[in-house]
Amino acid sequence: MIEVELKFPVSSLDEIRRQLHAMGATSKGVSVQTDEYFNDPKRDYAELDLAVRIRRSDECFWLTFKGPNLDSAAKIREEIEVPLENAEAAEQMQGVLTGMGLVSVAKVIKRREEFVGRTDLSDVHFCLDDVAEVGGFIELESVVQSQKDVEPAKLKLFALADQLGLSGSTRTSYLEMLLDARES
């Protein structure tokens, strides 16, 4: 699968939430997500633009690989997510990763409220993120099956961003922002 994503810093998550409701989007609820990122000290994943993480969202767990960004304006990258059965399986996967020589870099913790659009926008996920130590953001995301679907999805997301009055899109990951904030 290919993830097509636009991310914008926002000063008021409440204002964006009101706009999403006015557009007919429906909240799927709020979760607390902890993303633990791993790196290979011999092949710096930041330099390669790769990501490997274990996500905990409430009581659900996933192992995720994200490939390098394929676009200069949006975040477009291959994403492979493997569900992990429970906390024990996540702990075992962490053992596999560290056994392979990967090291934990940091944990990104965020409160996420996910919205899904009305029928004509059902393929778009709107995520309102309050990221610890970083701030508030909205992500507009669509997951497509093939490269031919990328450009239409990207154009749709840019149109939605305009409709919501969003500007200042960033391709910087929450992990990069967190590490930068900690260095300052």
Provide the residue ranges of all domains of the chain, joining segments of one domain with +. Answer: 2-183
pTM confidence score: 0.93
Q: Does the structure show a pLDDT above 80 at 119?
A: no
The predicted model gives 153-165 an average pLDDT of 95
Q: Does the structure show a pLDDT above 80 at 28?
A: yes
CB atoms closer than 10 angstroms to residue 12: 9
- Report the pLDDT value the prediction gives residue 137, as an integer from 0 to 100: 98
**Measured distance CA(71)–CA(170) in Å, rounded:** 12
The predicted model gives 118-136 an average pLDDT of 91
Q: Does the structure show a pLDDT above 90 at 78?
A: yes
- Report the pLDDT value the prediction gives residue 178, as an integer from 0 to 100: 97
**E strand or H helix that includes residue 87:** helix 87-99
- Report the pLDDT value the prediction gives residue 70, as an integer from 0 to 100: 92
Q: Does the structure show a pLDDT above 90 at 39?
A: yes
Assign 102 a pLDDT band (cuts: 50, 70, 90).
Answer: very high
Q: Which two tokens stand for residue 65?
A: 């690989």
CATH class of the domain comprising 2-183: mainly beta
